[in-house]
Structure 1
Amino acid sequence: MSDHGSGLREWLAQKLRPRLAVPAPAAPPRRYGPPVLTADFTSAEQWVAGRSWAYPDGGPTNPGDNKLDHLVTDPQFSRGGTFRACRRADGDWDTGLLTTEGSADGFMVRAGDILDTRVRLPVETGAWPAVWTWFEGGNEVDVFEYHPDNPHLLELTNHVRGGHRGYTHASVAPGAWVDLKVEFGARSVVWWVNGVRAFADGRGVGRHWRAYLIVNLSVSAGMYHPAPAPDLTAMSFTVEHLHVHRGDDF
């Protein structure tokens, strides 16, 4: 057979040979400009303390969500970005919560925005820290929730369209500093944990989504996670910084 025929057969064999799919690398975080919000947890213009319409009647308690919280307006409970909880004589806990809802600035995150924050996780069983969003009875996206009884697990949830992942990693631990970044995409919400793409929900929040920010330390009442030990009287977690950068819907 001619060399030409041999070469043709080899070419056809190469074309028809099954090929393994090569997964595309995870997309890096989007580029973005200067922050449109740099959190100042001492600012009465940016934040309202001790009240949130995510709680029945704006608070101060929320037992239906299995929380022992009793929200307080005392700035000592969120001073310098350290959110505290202290046991009360009635069994509830005075807890720190800040929200942009009702503040003078009235800041809202919207579809396409990028939030980045650095937090130090609590060590005490019963602590329930979170950074999340809320507006008119919903629009909730949890940047994170954490419970020290699941020491290496962060809960990442899009309640708007039902995306959720429990992200487990050794770098997540009681007392650890954790860097978080969330892209509130219209078609997909993407979470990054310590520089690693942890979850893209493929659902997003929709193009017209917007919501207020909430940062708080709740206390578990024992149904879903253990309540604090009877001799524990105080707990805390810290937010070193929190920025929001404006982006376009994507």
Structure 2
Amino acid sequence: MSRTRLRRGRAVRECHTGTSCDGADAVAGARGRIVGPVVTCSRFLLPLVCLAALAPAAAQATPTMAERRLCGAAPVFDDEFDTLNLSAWTLGAARWITHTPWAGDFGDARFTDPGPGSAFAVHDGTLSITARKDAQGHWTSGLLASADEDGHGFTTMYGYFETRVKLPPGPGTWPGVWLNESTPPNWMRPTVEVDAIEYYGQFTDAFHSTVHVWPGRSSEPHGGATQLNSVPPKSLVDDFHTYGTLVTPRWIRLYLDHKEYWQTPTPPQHRLPFMFLVNLALGSGWPIDKTPNPTVMLVDYVRAYQPADPEAFARCLVAGAPPRAPR
């Protein structure tokens, strides 16, 4: 989601770096410390494997760890949304913050803090992110990021990231599922962003996937690659679908319902671990005067894996990973 970012008053270009790794490098690439069921990762801590697993969603019940395993891998980061575990800016004991860590929120709806009147609610193991107008007629909505400004939270260089989402109907909606590098203060080099899905609500028969290489404070030009993906009209808003991103040192592979639809080389600028982000924004240059009020995006789960053999994992995904039961 390419927008100008501010890190507590310092104007910087929103930069994100995506690289991938295979085999043992995948394990060495993740960092973090495990606090109870939450994986809290920081680039300032000693390296530790920070993993997360994807699993089939059981109807009206939290899947067991065995059910959440995918192609032999168990989740290292996993939110089934049975409860809300949110903080506004500093992660602390929470699982998510509700703004971009660099204070670069975007779109035509203000992203809310957690608490009364926020955009977030959970019911029967499903998260709802609701865009609505407030008493003054201004739009509000929500974003989740798995790491904060200080690098605390879930981050990993390489792995497989998956969400199961039902997109919101209506023109003017701009939901996204994406990865963004967690940058230390005064980072001067380019960074990489991977948008698994960027969806514009007035076009129900397609979505965008993009790898951005942002120059940041360097002299390098903006680079990357993009793909427009066709789908049956309204299919992404009529039902839940899984969106997956496999990052290795050589390739970034994108999946819709475990079917690979795009592969692109991992940018050499990928030097920092990725955080996971999910949001419902509005606008992006498209009018929001006909956007339904309220508008709801549903998220069944967010999981991340770090398979020991990414190539075997990729083959397993497309060969027939276990189907997900409806919730």
TM-score (norm 2): 0.57
CA RMSD, aligned part only?
2.8
The DSSP-based 3-state class of the residue aligned with 1:85 is strand
1:105, distance to aligned residue in structure 2 (A): 5.8
Unaligned runs of 5+ in 1: 1-29
Deviations 1:69-110 (A, max 9, x none): 211113552222211111135554111111112299611132
The 8 Å contact of residues 80 and 300 in structure 2, kept in 1 or not, is answered as: no
Is 1:51 aligned to residue 93 of structure 2? Answer: no
The 8 Å contact of residues 163 and 203 in structure 1, kept in 2 or not, is answered as: no
Aligned match for 1:167, one of 210, 225, 229: 229
Is 1:82 aligned to residue 128 of structure 2? Answer: yes
Is 1:38 aligned to residue 78 of structure 2? Answer: yes
Q: Map of 1:83-122 to 2, 5 A cutoff?
A: 83-90=129-136, 92-102=138-148, 106-111=153-158, 113-122=159-168
1:10 maps to what in 2?
none
Deviations 1:142-171 (A, max 9, x none): 121112211021211111361211111217
2:61 maps to what in 1?
none
TM-score (norm 1): 0.72
Is 1:233 aligned to residue 293 of structure 2? Answer: yes
Aligned partners of 2:266, 2:97: CA distance in 1, in Å? 32
1:54, distance to aligned residue in structure 2 (A): 4.7
1:183 maps to what in 2?
246
The DSSP-based 3-state class of the residue aligned with 2:76 is strand
Is 1:215 aligned to residue 278 of structure 2? Answer: yes
Aligned match for 1:153, one of 203, 206, 211: 206
Is 1:243 aligned to residue 303 of structure 2? Answer: yes
1:53, distance to aligned residue in structure 2 (A): 3.0
Q: How many residues align?
A: 209
Aligned partners of 1:173, 1:212: CA distance in 2, in Å? 24
1:25 maps to what in 2?
none
The 8 Å contact of residues 109 and 281 in structure 2, kept in 1 or not, is answered as: yes
